[in-house]
């Protein structure tokens, strides 16, 4: 059974760096073709893709936040980590990780991050 679970702080202060971890079970990050993406959703607003990392360490970022994001993976722990620098209240929202698969559909439950002083 494939599961993804996001973890990280629920509250960060403006200008701080956010670090989120996606812990995956049921498949290996080193499997050919596997990718894991991060998506966020401000309260009441649309989904926004942030970044994706693939089994071969290829990384892609969304254009609007590219300068603030870093995505990485730890294959030994089967985790994907997203860091976002210089957090602002407009970055408040639910952050999801999801499997990038042509056929399967697996998402984490999401984690709510609030940016406030």
Q: Does 62 bind another protein (CB under 8 A)?
A: yes
Q: How far is the CB of 25 from another protein (least distance, A)?
A: 16
CB atoms under 10 Å from CB of 104, counted, come to 9
- Return the number of the residue (67 or 76) whose C-beta is nearest another protein: 67
Paired residues of 72 in beta bridges: 81
The answer to whether 63 contacts another protein (rule: CB under 8 A) is: yes
| Residue 48 within binding range of another protein, rule CB under 8 A | yes
- The torsion region of residue 13 among left (phi > 0), alpha (psi -120 to 50) and beta comes to beta
- Per DSSP, 17 falls in state P
Residue with tokens 């994001």: 69
Binding residue for another protein (CB under 8 A) from 18, 22, 29, 37?
37
**Looking at 9-17, 24-32, 67-75, 96-104, which segment touches another protein (CB under 8 A)?**
96-104
Q: Which of 31, 58, 67, 76 binds another protein (CB under 8 A)?
A: 58
CA distance readout (Å), 103 to 8, 34, 107: 28, 12, 13
Q: Which residues of the chain form contacts with another protein (CB under 8 A)?
A: 35, 37, 39, 46-49, 52, 54, 58, 60, 62-63, 96, 98, 100, 102-103, 105, 107-110
């Amino acid at each position: 059974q494939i599961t993804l679970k996001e973890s990280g702080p629920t509250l960060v202060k403006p200008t701080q760096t956010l670090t989120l971890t996606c812990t995956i079970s049921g498949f290996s990050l080193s499997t050919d073709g596997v990718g894991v993406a991060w998506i966020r959703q401000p309260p009441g607003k649309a989904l926004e893709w942030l970044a994706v990392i693939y089994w071969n360490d290829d990384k892609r970022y969304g254009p609007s936040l590219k300068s603030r994001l870093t995505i990485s993976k730890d294959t030994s722990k089967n985790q994907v980590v997203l860091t976002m620098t210089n957090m602002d209240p407009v970055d408040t929202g639910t952050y999801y990780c999801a499997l990038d698969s042509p056929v399967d559909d697996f998402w984490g439950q999401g984690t709510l991050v609030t940016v406030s002083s």
